[in-house]
Amino acid sequence: MLQGVDIELTPEEYQAIRVREILRAREISRAREILYDRIQQMLLQRMLEEEVREMRSGWTEEDIMKCLKTRSNDTSLGNDQENTICTICQDEYQIEDMIGTLDCQHEFHRDCIKDWLLRNNICPICRRPALDSDESSTN
């Protein structure tokens, strides 16, 4: 009954079969490595994305409105050209525009810097941390 299976193999045939087995095992392990690599890359990418997201802001609109010093542009800002233009939208401040001031004392339209801070926690001009939340960084 087992005759079909229980064939006698010549050494060459046996070797050929072994070689095929080994090659297939190697292929599988390589496929597995590639898969692991891919999974690892995916995980890494996800981790990085999360880190970036955390770095990006962590600010909610509410936080921003709480921490951002704002004032109404009710007085002339003087002759200094730099201080009369919002770097984010490149528009001049109009009388009664709401101005937001960062910790570094750079000023922008309140709405412009609010949108910016939702995505980045650095000053668009000097790249210093834009706002410090009171609780997290008093050491």
Contact residue for Zn ion among 109, 116, 121, 131 (CB under 5 A): 109
State which of positions 10-69 bind Zn ion (CB under 5 A). none
106 interacts with Zn ion by CB under 5 A: yes
State which of positions 82-101 bind Zn ion (CB under 5 A). 86, 88-89
Size of the site for Zn ion (CB under 5 A): 10
Shortest Å, Cβ 85 to Zn ion: 8
> Which structure tokens are listed for 32?
């597995």
123 interacts with Zn ion by CB under 5 A: yes
For Zn ion, give the closer residue by CB, 10 or 94: 94
Shortest Å, Cβ 125 to Zn ion: 4
Residue type at 20 in one-letter notation: R
114 interacts with Zn ion by CB under 5 A: no
Three-state SS sequence of the chain: CHHHCCCCCCHHHHHHHHHHHHHHHHHHHHHHHHHHHHHHHHHHHHHHHHHHHHHHCCCCHHHHHHHCEEEECCCCCCCCHHHHECCCCCCECCCCCEEEECCCCCEEEHHHHHHHHHHCCECCCCCCECCCCCCCCCC
Q: What residues make contact with Zn ion under the rule CB under 5 A?
A: 86, 88-89, 104, 106, 109, 112, 123, 125-126
